[in-house]
Amino acid sequence: MVGKPLMLSKHAQDMIEEREIPLEWIEHVLQSRIFEEPDRQTPGAIRAYAPIAAFGNRVLRVVYVEPGRQSA
């Protein structure tokens, strides 16, 4: 995901706004994830996790799909 443009779904945009999540945090998770697993709800999507130092080291989960990869 490093160096790739970040494209957000409408749902992601809504959640970012509602939860006041800085885009830098999302980029951090995608670049420095400590764990990832397949998303159980969306085939082809991946859940990535990383702690956010500026948020008390709470872990942020970001669900993403690699560009060119379609979810079923």
pLDDT (tens digit, 9 = 90+) per residue, 22-59? 999 999 999 999 999 999 999 999 999 999 999 999 99
pTM above 0.85, yes or no: no
Give CB contacts under 8 A, 24+ apart, made by 39-46: 39/63, 42/71, 43/71, 43/72, 44/69, 44/70, 44/71, 44/72, 45/71
1 occurs within a structural domain: no
26 occurs within a structural domain: yes
pLDDT at 3: 65
Domain residues for 52? 10-64
27 occurs within a structural domain: yes
31 occurs within a structural domain: yes
pLDDT at 29: 97
The number of domains in the chain is 1
- With cut-offs at 50, 70 and 90, classify the pLDDT of residue 5: confident
48 occurs within a structural domain: yes
44 occurs within a structural domain: yes
Is the per-residue pLDDT at 71 higher than 50?
no
